[in-house]
Structure 1
Amino acid sequence: MADVYPWQQALWQQLAGRSQHAHAYLLHGPAGIGKRVLAERLMARLLCQNPNGLDACGNCKSCHLLAAGTHPDNYVLEPEEADKPIKVDQVRELVDFVVQTAQLGGRKVVLLEPAEAMNLNAANALLKSLEEPSGNTVLLLISHQPSRLLPTIKSRCVQQACPLPSEAMSLAWLAQALPELGDDERSDLLTLAAGSPLAAVRLQAQGVREQRAQAVEGVKKLLKQQVSPSQLAESWNSLPLNLLFDWFCDWAQLMLRYQLTKDEQGLGQVDMRKVVQYLADKSAQAKVLAIQEWLLAQRQKVMGKANLNRVLLLEALLVQWAALPGQDRG
């Protein structure tokens, strides 16, 4: 069982030290801060027959079965495929498990991640189990985006915000996790990961710094009219849509902030500072607000895994972006 991360120690002591446990916890916070490790460690502690202080003993029958992935009183529910919804039939199977008697005579523990992946029917099917779990059952729900959960799901759980590490703590951890990178590279990576160190490691593995460089170069060429929106949209075929919309939303927000404050320290990462400042100076605030609103709406669809025409969506974005600087500054 992996250790909890340094920034989780206080929360771990609080959770594991409880003499009585709630029937359902909602562990929430940004992706990439270690919520799954925390949940799995708590799951082991709750199932262990001979806990050793705050931790599972690692030696009892329950611990051995859990380590082998064959514990009869443990149920893990995830999407059947990455980035797909959790379906109602999956939740019904979980409900069947919840109403059974624990085979080892102790607790039953369910881990469900990510909770926001449940579609409406699946979430509704879970409500009764959350409200009246059968026997000694503890449900551990993990959510990266709790705002997408039904209020009825959230109200039936003890909601526990998981801590985001400080920048210094994250960089110290990344220095051990990614020793091959320089300090500036790790700092840039952490910024791209919105401060989540585990997400930073995943982004590094998928080549995010190279992807970012490709996106930035494309935007600069677009504004210099060296490439058309349709050509650029086609050339970005390998870039993750969610990252592109994250970056464009961020740039639009930085432009608005600069238009309001003229604070040159608040222009974001070095690679786009001059572009952000140029667009903020040359664009009507109404146009920036309009594209930000459009970006946020489309980003919500991307995050919700809507069936989108990728190239047409990117072309629509880039046409609007290229039209930002102009005479109608209001």
Structure 2
Amino acid sequence: MNKDYEIYPWQDKLWQNLNQGRQKMHHAFLMHGRAGIGKYDFALSFSQALLCRNRDDRGYACNECPSCRWFNDESHPDFRLISPEQETGAEEDASPAKKTKKKTQISVAQIRDLGDFLNLSSHQTSGLKIVLINPAEALNQASANALLKMLEEPAPGVIFILIAHQLQRLLPTITSRCRKVSMPVPDMQQALAWLGMKGVRNPEQQLAYLEGSPIKVLSEQAQFEQLSEVWKHLALGRKMEPQTAAPILIASSVETGVIAVQKWLYDIVTVKLGQQARYHLQHARALQALADKVNLGRVFDLQKKANELRKLAAHPLNHELQMESLLVEYTKAFQA
């Protein structure tokens, strides 16, 4: 759990609205919206404030009372964070890469283990306990059904907070038992102002690439330096050398490299069809030059191959060879 979470400027109004309704607090909240807009940080701040013994006039946690110290130390006895676990291999001689595998699902055991927590008395006079589930899409069928039973018969003084990027992936029976909170998306002016305060250069270009998420822009500054090299190679079109470009593309991760290719191809097609580039505003001239020489049929085939490679990103393949093969096809998509 990250102690550096904050309420972002585009969330101020929502924070005020939720705090005005504290007297009629719902037993379950579903905070939903697209990725990268600060849902998790907001949920953590909201959780800490609910548990705080000395909130200020705006409803913010004091960060000084025993409850806040517990929360910031990640040891609050009345708070539980449920997210996909890390699965550790049993073999002691397993390689480091194989010892820990990131799980993508919240297990039914994790939800059932909440039973004792829900039945115990709160450690504070407020009697409040909070369960934060992030992301709710990680619930599988069994764990979702186990959670549903808890939502149907909520324990006194317990508040569930669910975070979801894709609301449609949740069971309708779960969403119907929660108070849905649509998380605000920052407009361009808010995003640029916030990134400017954080010292980010050329935020317009980076916001375009990361689809308007200022939080992703800030967290991926190092990646943008790498992407600058990637774009230089992709801009060469037919003249690009796949053997040189492939290791650069997968330097951060295979998925990052494939996404870079996918977005670049999308903009080539967009420009070819007479529209403005979506992701690479600063490379409009290079994209136009490539669009003038591109064979759209080959690009569509390339997009399919890129989709396949992205699905295989977690598999133990020779990713450099796979990326090199994709880039060879990329160079063939342009006329001499």
Alignment match of 1:69 (pick from 66, 70, 74):
74
Q: State which of 38, 44, 51 in structure 1 corresponds to 2:48.
A: 44
Structure 1 residues 148, 318: closer, same or farther in 2, change over 3 A?
farther
The CA distance in 2 between the partners of 1:104 and 1:138, in whole Å, is 15
2:315 partner amino acid: N
**Correspondence 1:199 to 2:208:** no
Percent identity of paired positions between Structure 1 and Structure 2: 32
What residue identity is the alignment partner of 2:129?
K
Structure 2 equivalent of residue 12 of structure 1:
15
Pairing partner for 2:262 from 249, 255, 264: 249
Equivalent AA in structure 2 for residue 7 of structure 1: W
Greater CA deviation, 88-97 or 105-114? 88-97
Q: Which one is further off, 7-16 or 118-127?
A: 118-127
Report what 1:91 is aligned to. 111
Match of 2:204 among 166, 187, 205: 187
Aligned to 2:98: none
Task: Give the counterpart letter for 1:273 in structure 2.
Answer: A
> How does 1:9-158 map onto structure 2 within 5 Å?
9-18=12-21, 19-49=23-53, 51-56=55-60, 58=62, 61-81=66-86, 84-88=103-107, 89-104=109-124, 106-146=127-167, 148-158=169-179
CA positional deviation for 1:61: 4.8
Q: Residue 334 of structure 2 aligns with which residue?
A: 325
Shift of 1:39: 0.8
Could you tell me whether the CA contact under 8 Å between 1:216 and 1:271 is conserved in 2?
A: no
Give the structure 2 partner of residue 168 of structure 1: 189
Q: Secondary structure at the match of 1:266?
A: coil
Give, in angstroms, the shift of residue 63 of structure 1: 3.8
Work out whether residues 30 and 178 of structure 2, in 8 Å CA contact, stay in contact via their aligned partners in 1.
yes
Q: Secondary structure at the match of 2:334?
A: coil
Partner of 1:269: 280
CA contact (8 A) 1:86 1:122 kept: no
Letter in 2 for 1:84: K
TM-score, structure 2 as length reference: 0.78
Alpha carbons of 1:223 and 1:84: their partners in 2 closer, same or farther (altered >3 Å)? farther
Tell me the equivalent position of 1:288.
299
1:316 shift after superposition: 4.5
Tell me the secondary structure at the aligned position of residue 42 of structure 1: helix
- CA deviations 1:197-227 (Å, max 9, x no partner) are 22111111xx122211221133245621x52
Moved more, 36-45 or 314-323: 314-323
Structure 1 pair 256–148 and aligned structure 2 pair: CA distance change class (3 A): farther
91 and 326 in structure 1: CA distance in 2 versus 1, 3 angstrom threshold: farther
Deviation at 1:326, TM superposition (A): 5.2
Distance 1:266 1:237 in 2: 24
Report the counterpart of residue 324 of structure 2 in structure 1. Answer: 315
CA drift at 1:44: 2.2
Q: Deviations over 1:137-187 (max 9, x none)?
A: 111122344455455544443332211212221121112212xx54xx233
Given the superposition, is the C-alpha separation of residues 50 and 208 from structure 1 closer, same or farther in structure 2, using an over 3 Å criterion?
A: closer
> Cα distance, 1:268 vs. partner?
4.6
Once structures 1 and 2 are overlaid, which stretch shifts more, 10-19 or 82-91? 82-91
2:24 aligned counterpart, secondary structure: coil
Report how many aligned residue pairs link the two structures.
314
Distance 2:139 2:262 in 1: 26
Q: Is the 8 A contact 2:208 2:279 kept in 1?
A: no
Residue identity in the other structure for 2:190: M
Aligned residue type for 1:236? L
- Structure 1 residues 192, 283: CA separation in 2 closer, same or farther (over 3 Å shift)? closer
**SS at 2:35 equivalent:** coil
Secondary structure at 1:12 match in 2: helix
Question: Partners of 2:330 and 2:192 in 1: how far apart?
Answer: 34
